């Protein structure tokens, strides 16, 4: 039973994948990046290689022209190095920038933007010799070595069949003029680069599929891990149940506010508690609690009672007792009958006095 619980049979949840991404753990294929960078550089060479070669040939010709007059006795004699370095950088730097941009784009296509310094943190396992030997002699390293041999075999096969196809044409090319030879080599070089690029594409796509499959296997979760993740994300079940209970109570109190205008009296603390009661003779055995609240709810109930002319009575101990013991929509506790009866007696007395005053008036 324990082995079944530990078996990783469930796919990784989006939450675990997001946490792994924050730690810098993503499915990334180096071979796919290599394909993108190499093909981009080869494309730039095909598009602008002739211009760069012409520029470098002119630079070399200029160096040959001045080599006889160059003097190196004084540091000032090396002033010619500045233009040479600038010219070389003007050819090399664009290629380097393009390669870097395409390398960044290849990573973004695979993993999206990631900003994590966790992989850079020092770990004891990296300097532990025992762990180092385990990393060297394991199945993953052997498999990576096997993949390298397969890649070499694939690219070697492409080169072999390419040169086999060129071999019969070499005698004819050797007897042609130099201009035609240069053009022929340029065309065949482009064809070779295209075939190597297609080989790298196949390798990159296969490696990308394999890396994502391997990453999915590594991120697999057991049922116990899945339950723990749900508990960690949503909290302890007891706490969730308590929160739901509090939410139901708040909702019940919010709904009970709509019944305050029906109340006969509002008993207050005077500030912290408020309880609205209603009694219908012949229909109810005892006054019922229409609404009750504390703090902000109590203030809202007082405001509603004031708007609808409901009498308010300050009974500190009675208000606290009713708030703790009485239930919404239920009769008041039996031990509060006498105190509540006195409140209703005062209400009737006030109404009689008000009626006599209105008659006299």
| Residue burial 70-79, b: 16+ Cβ < 10 Å; e: rest | eeeeeeeeee
Instruction: Spell out the residues 6+ positions from residue 226 whose beta carbon is closer than 8 angstroms to its own.
Output: 10, 13
Q: Is the CB of residue 8 less than 8 Å from the CB of residue 219?
A: no
Distance between CA atoms of residues 295 and 301, nearest Å:
10
Side-chain-side CA neighbours of 204 within 13 Å: the count stands at 19
Q: Is the CB of residue 193 less than 8 Å from the CB of residue 155?
A: no
Per-residue pLDDT of the chain in tens (361 residues, 90 and over written 9): 344 445 777 777 777 777 777 776 777 778 888 888 888 877 777 777 667 777 777 777 877 777 767 666 666 556 667 777 777 787 778 878 888 888 888 888 777 777 666 556 666 555 556 555 555 556 667 777 787 888 888 888 888 888 888 888 777 777 777 767 777 777 777 787 788 878 888 888 888 888 888 888 888 887 787 777 777 766 666 777 777 777 777 777 677 778 888 888 898 887 788 889 898 888 888 889 888 888 888 888 888 888 888 888 888 888 888 888 888 888 888 888 888 888 888 888 888 877 676 555 5
Distance between CA atoms of residues 79 and 71, nearest Å:
10
What's the burial of 36, exposed, middle or buried (CB within 10 Å: 0-12/13-18/19+)?
buried
Q: What is the pLDDT of residue 1?
A: 39
Structure tokens at 130: 């025992």
Q: What is the pLDDT of residue 247?
A: 76
Sign of CA dihedral 12, 15, 21, 25: negative
Q: What is the pLDDT of residue 246?
A: 75
Please calculate the CA angle 319-323-328 and round it to the nearest 5 degrees. Answer: 125
Instruction: Report pTM.
Output: 0.49
Q: What is the pLDDT of residue 129?
A: 61
The domains of the chain are located at 2-231, 256-360
Nearest to residue 219, comparing CAs of 56, 58, 31, 14?
Answer: 14
Structure tokens at 120: 């850079």
Instruction: Spell out the residues 6+ positions from residue 181 whose beta carbon is closer than 8 angstroms to its own.
Output: 173, 174
Q: What is the pLDDT of residue 359?
A: 54
Structure tokens at 15: 């939450």
User: CATH for 256-360?
Assistant: 3.40.1690.10
Q: What is the pLDDT of residue 73?
A: 61
């Amino acid at each position: 039973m324990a082995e079944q619980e530990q078996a990783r049979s469930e796919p990784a949840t989006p939450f675990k994948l997001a946490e792994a991404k924050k730690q810098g753990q993503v499915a990334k294929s180096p071979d796919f990046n290599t394909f993108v960078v190499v093909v981009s550089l080869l494309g730039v060479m095909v598009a602008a290689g002739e211009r760069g070669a012409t520029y470098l040939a002119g630079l070399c010709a200029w160096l040959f022209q001045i080599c006889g007059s160059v003097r190196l006795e004084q540091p000032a004699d090396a002033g010619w190095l500045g233009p040479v370095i600038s010219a070389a950088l003007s050819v090399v730097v664009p290629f380097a920038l393009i390669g870097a941009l395409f390398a960044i784009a290849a990573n973004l296509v695979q993993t999206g933007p990631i900003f994590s310094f966790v992989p850079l943190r020092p770990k004891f396992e990296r300097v532990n010799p025992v762990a180092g030997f385990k990393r060297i002699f394991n199945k993953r390293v052997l498999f990576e070595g096997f993949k390298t041999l397969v890649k070499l075999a694939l690219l070697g096969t492409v080169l072999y069949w390419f040169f086999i196809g060129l071999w019969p044409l070499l005698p004819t090319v050797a007897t042609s003029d130099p201009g035609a030879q240069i053009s022929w080599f340029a065309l065949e070089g482009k064809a070779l680069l295209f075939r190597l690029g297609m080989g790298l594409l196949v390798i990159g796509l296969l490696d990308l599929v394999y890396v994502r499959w391997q990453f999915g296997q590594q991120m697999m979760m057991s049922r116990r891990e899945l339950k723990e993740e749900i508990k960690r994300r949503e909290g302890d079940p007891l706490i969730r149940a308590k929160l739901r209970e509090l939410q139901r109570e708040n909702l019940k109190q919010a709904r009970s506010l709509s019944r305050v205008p029906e109340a006969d009296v509002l008993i207050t603390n005077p500030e912290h508690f408020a309880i609205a009661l209603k009694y219908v003779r012949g229909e109810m055995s005892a006054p019922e609690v229409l609404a009750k609240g504390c703090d902000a709810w109590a203030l809202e109930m007082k405001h509603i009672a004031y708007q609808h002319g409901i009498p308010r009575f300050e009974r500190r101990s009675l208000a606290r007792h009713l708030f703790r013991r009485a239930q919404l929509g239920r009769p008041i506790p039996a031990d509060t009958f006498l105190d509540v009866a006195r409140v209703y007696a005062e209400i009737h007395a006030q109404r009689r006095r008000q009626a006599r005053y209105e008659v006299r008036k």
